Amino acid sequence: MMRKDKYIALRSLNSTESEGTLDEVESSGRLWSNVSESSLKHEPGSLFGAISLVGGTTVGAGILALPAETQASGFIASSGAIVACWIYMVATGILLAEVNLKTLCELGNGGVSLTSMAERTLGKFGTNLSGVAYVLLHYTLLVAYISKAGELIGNALDLPSALGITLFTLIVGGTIYTTSPRQLDFINSGLVVGVLASFFGLLVVAGSTVDISNLQVAHWDAVPKSLPVISLAFVYHNVVPVIVTSLEGDPRKVKTAIWCGTGVPMAMFILWNAAILGTLPVGTEQTLDPLKVLRETEPIIGPLIAGFSLLAVTTSFIGFVLGLTDFVSDYLKMPTVKRAPVPYAVALIPPLGMAIFFQDLFFSALEFAGVFGVLVLFGVMPGAMAWSERYFVDKGNAGAKDAYLVPGGKVAIGALIAFAGTIIIGDVIERVVGAVS
């Protein structure tokens, strides 16, 4: 639990309610109150909305690439890798929330971005590294999302891909900019429901043709190559500051949102892998796109895959736009509540241009983002910031341990950093050897 005086300070700074007793503040777990600028009414974010935002951000383009990346290792080995990556990404996300909570206590306001956290814990070098990795990751993934959505819209409406790309960006990007947080929360929750409905419809159809013998494959030696994309599939960390602010800094609700918001996608990933890998014809080449093969052999699955893909990409797109606009607003020292157009233009226009001129970047963008974006930004950085926070910033503070959200001390944090670092180094070595040979 945070220091008692900061609970009161933050609550009084951001609330029109009476301060109340210390026991009331502690029992609520709330650091401050979200208040509407226009009506001055208390507008707390809902736990369901936070879970939906985490889940919707998680179920994005990564799930579409999973079968292609896990086909070599087989269903059994890839399922083990999915569960391991889920636990890993939950741990790093909760570490990020821990640092976020302490930073907002220090600064006295919500909406704390990764830049502020890195600056406070890792200094200028950490700020620059996180900033470059953050922008690189978000631009890479937004290009992938926009490109895939444009392709799906173009195929459905018989339009050029460039026009589909532009329509998607203008409609969804415009909706994000013009709607209030509560309205966007409602829209995103509806889209997540659509993702789940279309997903289970796809499972029913594809599951009827699954060959159990195809699921009894386990090539553990092929697992390491798939880890970057599997890790990418679990990225939601960019909305951690958003849900911390929405849930008014309540640590228990934040942890619940992360566990539940990623737990449902984890189950979906395993079921999705089973449905796709178990349905592929025996002898399918591992260099082919499993979804393309499946569409050709089972035509009825095509529209279901297209609908699910578009909804999944849209929910993930919303989360990444929100994360990037918060980052840009913080970097430019613009208040996020005023919806300044500059952060949205910076977040949307460059990826739109890249997607129009380079329309075949989906898989290569995801692989690059998984290794050099996700594992640096949401693997190494949360551990490094938490290490600095706990053992340097909090040094000598006897009550600091009460606010630690991830157990295990230095061993746990060191293992989280080492896992990401090992994969990054291994991928770099493989690329260098491949280039030389």
| Same domain assignment for residues 224 and 303 | yes
> Final residue of a domain: which of 44, 61, 78?
44
| Same domain assignment for residues 280 and 303 | yes
| Same domain assignment for residues 373 and 422 | yes
| Same domain assignment for residues 17 and 66 | no
Read off the amino acid at residue 354.
M
| Same domain assignment for residues 118 and 18 | no
| Same domain assignment for residues 267 and 400 | yes
Give the side-chain half-sphere CA count within 13 A for 404: 21
CATH at 241: 1.20.1740.10
The pLDDT value recorded for residue 284 is 63
| Same domain assignment for residues 33 and 51 | no
The pLDDT value recorded for residue 338 is 55
Number of folded domains that form the chain: 2
The pLDDT value recorded for residue 17 is 39
Residue 381: domain span:
46-436
| Same domain assignment for residues 193 and 226 | yes
Helices (H), 15-60: 22-28, 47-58
Q: Would you say 295 and 301 are in contact if contact means Cβ atoms under 8 Å apart?
A: yes
pLDDT in tens, the chain (437 residues): 333 333 333 433 333 333 333 333 344 455 555 555 555 565 667 899 899 889 988 887 678 788 888 988 999 999 999 999 999 999 999 999 999 988 887 776 656 778 788 888 999 888 888 888 888 888 888 988 898 899 899 989 999 989 999 999 999 999 999 998 888 888 988 998 898 888 888 888 877 778 888 888 889 999 988 888 898 889 899 889 889 988 888 899 999 999 999 999 999 999 989 988 888 765 566 666 777 777 776 677 788 888 988 998 998 899 889 888 888 887 777 765 556 888 999 999 999 998 888 766 666 666 666 667 788 889 999 999 999 999 988 776 655 676 789 999 999 999 999 999 998 888 778 877 877 76
Q: What is the per-residue DSSP string for 96-151?
A: HHHHHHHHHHHHTSS---HHHHHHHHHHHHHHHHHHHHHHHHHHHHHHHHHHHHHH
Model pTM score: 0.78
The pLDDT value recorded for residue 125 is 87
Helices (H), 59-73: 61-70
The pLDDT value recorded for residue 335 is 61
The pLDDT value recorded for residue 129 is 83
The pLDDT value recorded for residue 388 is 93
Give the burial class of 331: count Cβ atoms within 10 A of its Cβ; 0-12 exposed, 13-18 middle, 19 or more buried. Answer: middle
| Same domain assignment for residues 40 and 71 | no
| Same domain assignment for residues 134 and 23 | no
Query: Looking at the DSSP assignment, which residues form a beta bridge with residue 35?
Result: 42
| Same domain assignment for residues 15 and 107 | no
| Same domain assignment for residues 35 and 65 | no
Q: Would you say 353 and 125 are in contact if contact means Cβ atoms under 8 Å apart?
A: no
The pLDDT value recorded for residue 43 is 62
How far, in Å, CA of 206 to CA of 92, rounded?
34
